Structure 1
């Protein structure tokens, strides 16, 4: 009998949330050497050099420790910061994971959403204390579309930096809107005013590698094909779109990673455009977790590039929706290859 994501109710301990702050499995073996810069995009080679330099400088901060004078207590050197600004699929996460793997001591890697989920699950004070012993905090896809979340994370980063934790963050700029991307980077730096003096902003340009020479969104499966593939794949799950959306509403987003743990294929029937913004944002969070775990996705109903309404894609969460579409399409093509 095929399992259902809507039947899963994961329970996660605080230590497990911190322990899961590592790069997605697809980035387990990446390094600066395995990042191949596009020869037509000199910014990529410059970004690699900036990332290597960051590791060299950040590694010395905790290694040196605080200096103690005759009549004063030891002081903790402030962490440094690097901000990688660029479009979808240009290798920023590859560089971020390479920084994580190159840094000594305890480290932490999470998306912006995972950091906000951590604070929501553990509380601000507990999150701060648990992250303060890290040498570096790597934050993928820093987002400015939610002022409340941005202010909380900005305060967290300021206090962590004061405790000697170095920070690396990436952003996603919409393709073809590089001016907007640079403006977004400045918004980020203004938003975290206490950190702006230590952040180096580095641009990474190039086409989305997930869509290079690839066909458009694949045709959805029929209901019969979907059920047959789910039944033939060990570890697959099968849910209707509405049942899955309803179940996601009952779970804290910090549990989405555990929700798909061990799943080999996600099948979703009767997919239709998400009319509700809350539903759509939960789908974005789920798409991120599926992409991180490299889990193929097969659907019936509308094409995956139609899962968010045109009004939503044109709104304030545009970057999130386009990123989710890009990732879902990559996972659907992965399913085609596996089949």
Structure 2
């Protein structure tokens, strides 16, 4: 479903997209900002040596696809340790994990897939478990960005599926998104992820990436909000010059998101150039907040700027949320919303 009337101001809340298993599978590639992501284009922060070390470790992992020459009897490579079939990038948000994951994907031969945890669970929902496994079996690499621990059922389903794929020769690379906030600073505890994937735990090499969120290095940490008169003028001007602009009341959009599966949020945004939101306010409902986070993830991937009125989007999550188990997820979303409203969309993501 696309915006057919170019230049018209429409409401996202009026759109009811659908998505098929085939469409989901076709979309399992890195987001547009990572089309040219490479290890060389990653810019490590020299204050955090683990970032450069992570690049070296991932380059070594990528060599697993290179053809191996038979080792001679006295070859130094004869007793070389076998590379584990999985890597897990563990670190705070905004340190370049997604960029590195995409760079690894580009290094791998096909067939290969790159998607978020939600996209893979949506694939299972559309094709059934057996259908999804059959589609993915034979892949050289499966990349899972933002591995979720919100839903134990989905987590264990993914665990089972990854086990089958690894057993068939597929390599797995993952980053984490959702923490139980075990370390108190919004950082994901690798041990919690490894416990959840049980039988796979000894097959993953954990690569720690320290650092600061680069999206906040050059900003003042506040989303841009405008008054209604300025908002109306911006939306009207963009529409008049042919931009596809949406304009939604914040509460109406939040309510609508509850009726759309997160796997369909990307279709909700088809053809949209600019998103307008009016009456943004602080959220106190956790489910509504988590749906907003999932929506903002897709908006950020699509690089669609936001213009808004009301409460600055960086303040949309209440104190209880920011102090709870989803702290890391909310903080990451805050930094993305700042970038989306200030035009500070960087060349690579976490």
User: TM class by shorter-chain length?
Assistant: 0.7 to 0.9
Match of 1:185 among 190, 198, 204: 190
> 1:7 — aligned with what?
14
* SS of residue matched to 2:198: coil
1:95-106 matches, cutoff 5 A: 95-106=100-111
The Cα shift of 1:39 comes to 1.8
The Cα shift of 1:156 comes to 1.6
> 1:38 — aligned with what?
45
Take 1:135 and 1:95, find their aligned partners in 2: how far apart are those partners? Answer: 17
Inter-CA distance 179–200: structure 2 relative to 1 (3 Å threshold): farther
Pairs aligned (count)? 322
> 1:163 — aligned with what?
168
Q: Which moved more, 1:224-233 or 1:47-56?
A: 224-233
Match of 1:52 among 50, 59, 62: 59
The Cα shift of 1:181 comes to 7.5
Q: Which moved more, 1:83-92 or 1:270-279?
A: 270-279
The Cα shift of 1:50 comes to 1.0
Inter-CA distance 81–159: structure 2 relative to 1 (3 Å threshold): same
> 1:283 — aligned with what?
292
* SS of residue matched to 2:247: strand
Match of 2:309 among 295, 300, 306: 300
Q: Which moved more, 1:297-306 or 1:219-228?
A: 219-228
Deviation sequence 1:290-314 (CA, Å, 0-9, x none):
0111111111111112211111222
* SS of residue matched to 1:105: coil
Are 1:3 and 1:238, in contact at CA under 8 Å, matched by a contact in 2?
Answer: yes
1:217 correspondence with 2:222: yes
The Cα shift of 1:185 comes to 0.5
> 2:245 — aligned with what?
236
> 2:4 — aligned with what?
none
Q: Which moved more, 1:16-25 or 1:241-250?
A: 241-250
Are 1:88 and 1:173, in contact at CA under 8 Å, matched by a contact in 2?
Answer: no
Inter-CA distance 305–274: structure 2 relative to 1 (3 Å threshold): same
* SS of residue matched to 1:137: strand
Take 1:155 and 1:271, find their aligned partners in 2: how far apart are those partners? Answer: 40
> 1:268 — aligned with what?
277
Deviation sequence 1:236-281 (CA, Å, 0-9, x none):
1111111111221221211101111221111110111222222111
TM-score by length of 2: 0.85
Q: Could you list the runs of 5+ residues in structure 1 that have no partner in the other structure?
A: 65-76
Inter-CA distance 336–157: structure 2 relative to 1 (3 Å threshold): closer
Q: What is the RMSD of the two structures over their aligned residues, measured on CA atoms?
A: 2.6
Q: Could you list the runs of 5+ residues in structure 2 that have no partner in the other structure?
A: 1-7, 70-81
